[in-house]
Amino acid sequence: MRIGVLALQGAFAEHIQKLQALGTETFEIRQRSDISEPFDGLVLPGGESTVIKKLLIELHLLEPLREMIRNGLPVLATCAGMILLAKEIEGGEDGCFQTMDITVKRNAYGRQLGSFRCIELFDGKPIEMPFIRAPYVTKAGNDVEILAEHDGNIVGVRQRNQLALAFHPELTEDDTVYRIFLQMIAQS
Ligand code: GLN
């Protein structure tokens, strides 16, 4: 099993550590040639979604990755990654991949005091959730499963091959999210 981690900007190194600790082979996606060999899963990390989107376009990565996601490649997207997958962004900003039937609100907890940690249920299990200038989901389509909420807002969703979280599981000791992602890959 080989997992590609988008490594253009943001918090990708911690995802690689997490996946490697679970015995998974990973590689960094930095340019078009990095995705010429087949792979089994994709991680879209947190960071600044506008910067990541700009780089995806410039490096000609957006179209081929979108096609792979549409064709069922399992994806784990966190924070900015969730914004990249969303079909719509509140306020009319254009989306990026737009493969997931959700609407997100960027910087939903405010820009200044927007970072905090809490414990919430994820797929029924309590886990630690660090939020860093995070988005949340304001609308989800009928076939989008809601896996986590915080303060009545949706912060974890799955739609078929796509798992998207508003928080940063790579910044905790817990690996629940990664185990679920690896299961999705095994079953795909
Ligand atoms: N605020 C960032 C954005 O809108 C996301 C922050 C993060 O990924 N930690 O892209």
Q: Could you tell me the distance, in angstroms and rounded to a whole number, from the CA of residue 46 to the centre of ligand 1?
A: 6
Domain 2-187 CATH class label: alpha beta
Distances (CA, A) of 104 to 22, 82, 85, 112, 180: 30, 8, 10, 19, 22
| pTM, full prediction | 0.97
The CB of 107 under 6 Å from ligand 1? The reply is yes
Q: Could you tell me the distance, in angstroms and rounded to a whole number, from the CA of residue 48 to the centre of ligand 1?
A: 5
Every domain of the chain and the residues it spans = 2-187
The CB of 51 under 6 Å from ligand 1? The reply is no
Residue nearest to atom 5 of ligand 1 (CA): 80
User: How far is the C-alpha of 16 from the C-alpha of 42, rounded, in Å?
Assistant: 11
| Residue-by-residue pLDDT tens, the chain, 188 positions | 999 999 999 999 999 999 999 999 999 999 999 999 999 999 999 999 999 999 999 999 999 999 999 999 999 999 999 999 999 999 999 999 999 999 999 999 987 667 999 999 999 999 999 999 999 999 999 999 999 999 999 999 999 999 999 999 999 999 999 999 999 999 99
Is the separation of the CB atoms in 129 and 153 below 8 Å? no
